A and B are shown apart, each in its own frame.
Chain A
Amino acid sequence: MTLLLRLYWEFFKTGLFAVGGGLATLPFLYQIGAKTGWYDEAILADMVAVGESTPGPIGVNMATYTGFTTAGTVGGIVATLGLVTPCLVIILIIARFLKAFKENEKVQRVFLGLRPAVCALILAAGIRVMRIALFDASGGLSAAAVVIFAALFAAIYRLKWHPIIFIVISAVIGVVFSLGV
Chain B
Amino acid sequence: MRDKLKELWELFFAFAKIGLFTFGGGYAMLPMIQREVVENHGWATDDEILDYYAIGQCTPGVIAVNTATFVGNSRAGAAGGIAATLGVIFPSVVIITIIASFLRTFAGLPVVRNAFAGIRICVCALILNAVIKLMKKGVKGALGITVFAAVLAVMVVFDPSPIFAVVGAALCGLLWPRRQKEGGEGK
For chain A, residues 95 to 110, give those with C-beta under 8 angstroms from any C-beta of chain B: 95, 98, 101-102, 106-107, 109-110
| Given the contacts A48-B126, A59-B62, A181-B113, A117 and B169 also touching, CB distance less than 8 Å | yes
- The contact of A18 among B60, B69, B82, B151, by CB within 8 Å, is B60
- The contact of B139 among A64, A84, A115, by CB within 8 Å, is A115
- The contact of A173 among B55, B78, B118, by CB within 8 Å, is B118
Interface size, B (range): 35 or more
Contact (Cβ within 8 A) A20 B129: no
Main SS of the interface on chain A?
helix
- A4 part of interface (Cβ distance < 8 Å): no
Contacts of A77 in B (CB 8 A): 93
Measured CB to CB, the nearest residue on chain A to B32 is A55
> Bound state CA distance, A84 and B68, in angstroms?
11
Contacts of A111 in B (CB 8 A): 58, 173
Please encode chain B, from 48 to 59, with 1 for each CB lying within 8 Å of some chain A CB and 0 for all others.
000100111111
Contacts of B147 in A (CB 8 A): 113, 116-117, 120
Contact (Cβ within 8 A) A19 B120: no
Contacts of A55 in B (CB 8 A): 19-23, 91-92, 95
For chain B, residues 67 to 108, give those with C-beta under 8 angstroms from any C-beta of chain A: 69-70, 73-74, 78, 81-82, 85, 88-89, 91-93, 95-97, 99-101, 103-104
Residues of A within 8 A of B (CB): 13, 15-23, 25-28, 31, 34, 42, 45-46, 48-61, 64-65, 68-69, 73, 76-77, 80, 83-84, 86-88, 90-92, 94-95, 98, 101-102, 106-107, 109-127, 129-130, 132-134, 145, 148-149, 152-153, 156-157, 162-164, 166-167, 169-175, 177-181
Residues of B within 8 A of A (CB): 19-26, 29, 51, 54-66, 69-70, 73-74, 78, 81-82, 85, 88-89, 91-93, 95-97, 99-101, 103-104, 110-111, 113-132, 134-135, 137-140, 143-145, 147-152, 155-156, 159, 161-163, 165-174, 176, 178
